[in-house]
Structure 1
Amino acid sequence: MTTQQIADRLVELCRKGDFETAQKELYDESIVTIEPVETENFEKETRGLPAILSKGKKFYNMVETVYAITVSDPIVASHAIAFVLSMDLKMKEKDRINMAELCVYETRDGKVIYEHFFM
């Protein structure tokens, strides 16, 4: 898969809110994720596909309602992908929030090997 094909598929699945399928289909087993900040719920850095899948399940267990997910068209340069992901959601026992982050990915050998989120 080329970086452009990965970008197109990643955006397609993220627009549907199907993050787990994107991870299982497009991520390398040794993927590294960097979050914008470390929180009580999540580490700043997560390594390995099983840990990332677990983190995703933990996040969605904290969500009460997803009102909207918006993903910009991807920008692709060589082995890098970037897009803006915006989510309008209500977390359990919290107020409704709108969050937007810049999502940056690096690919190698047809898989995503690195992702970094900026808020």
Structure 2
Amino acid sequence: MTTQQIADRFYMLAQEGKFDEIQDELYAQDVKSTEPEGSPWPQVQGIAAVKEKGVKFNEMVEEMYGGFTDRPIVSGNTFACRMGFEAKMKGREREAMEEIALYRVKDGKIISEQFFM
């Protein structure tokens, strides 16, 4: 798959909230994930670690009120999109969060993701 095809598939699955399927289908086994400064998981590598990070994040959510992923912008072997959600995290007030997500593609798979707030 080309970067554009991966970005299109990513967007389609994200609109349906199928982030597990995105990881299973589009991520490389040795994918690298980098979160913004201050994150409990600043950087992890490998699909198992990325999935575990998602599980831990979901355990912190008390209630999810909705989310969005904008259409990706593709350039060369990268694509980026604005993403966000509104949620009440355990022990915190309800809040809206937004970030820019940057993905790098190699050999038809996402090899890295990095999030900027």
Please report how far the alpha carbon of residue 43 of structure 1 lies from its aligned counterpart in structure 2 after TM superposition.
Answer: 2.3
Secondary structure at the counterpart of residue 99 of structure 1: strand
When structure 1 is superposed on structure 2, of 8-17 and 52-61 the one drifting more is 8-17
| Aligned residue number for residue 46 of structure 1 | 44
The structure 2 residue matched to 1:106, chosen from 104, 109, 116, is: 104
Aligned residues: 117
Partner Cα separation in structure 2 for residue 21 and residue 9 of structure 1: 10
Q: Does residue 118 in structure 1 map to residue 107 in structure 2?
A: no
When structure 1 is superposed on structure 2, of 22-31 and 60-69 the one drifting more is 60-69
Q: Does residue 23 in structure 1 map to residue 23 in structure 2?
A: yes
Q: CA contact under 8 A between 1:71 and 1:83: conserved in structure 2?
A: yes
Q: CA contact under 8 A between 1:15 and 1:69: conserved in structure 2?
A: no
Please report how far the alpha carbon of residue 37 of structure 1 lies from its aligned counterpart in structure 2 after TM superposition.
Answer: 1.5
Q: What amino acid maps onto 1:8 in structure 2?
A: D
The structure 2 residue matched to 1:68, chosen from 59, 66, 69, is: 66
Residues 74-119 of structure 1 deviation map (CA, whole Å, 9 limit, x = unaligned): 1001110000001111112211110000000000011000111000
Q: CA contact under 8 A between 2:41 and 2:53: conserved in structure 1?
A: no
Please report how far the alpha carbon of residue 16 of structure 1 lies from its aligned counterpart in structure 2 after TM superposition.
Answer: 2.5
| Aligned residue number for residue 90 of structure 1 | 88
* 4+ runs deviating over 3 angstroms: none
Question: Normalising to structure 2: TM-score of the pair?
Answer: 0.94
| Aligned residue number for residue 36 of structure 2 | 36
Question: Normalising to structure 1: TM-score of the pair?
Answer: 0.92
Q: CA contact under 8 A between 1:88 and 1:96: conserved in structure 2?
A: yes
Partner Cα separation in structure 2 for residue 102 and residue 65 of structure 1: 22
Partner Cα separation in structure 2 for residue 87 and residue 16 of structure 1: 14
Q: What amino acid maps onto 2:77 in structure 1?
A: H
Q: What amino acid maps onto 2:17 in structure 1?
A: G
Partner Cα separation in structure 2 for residue 101 and residue 15 of structure 1: 16
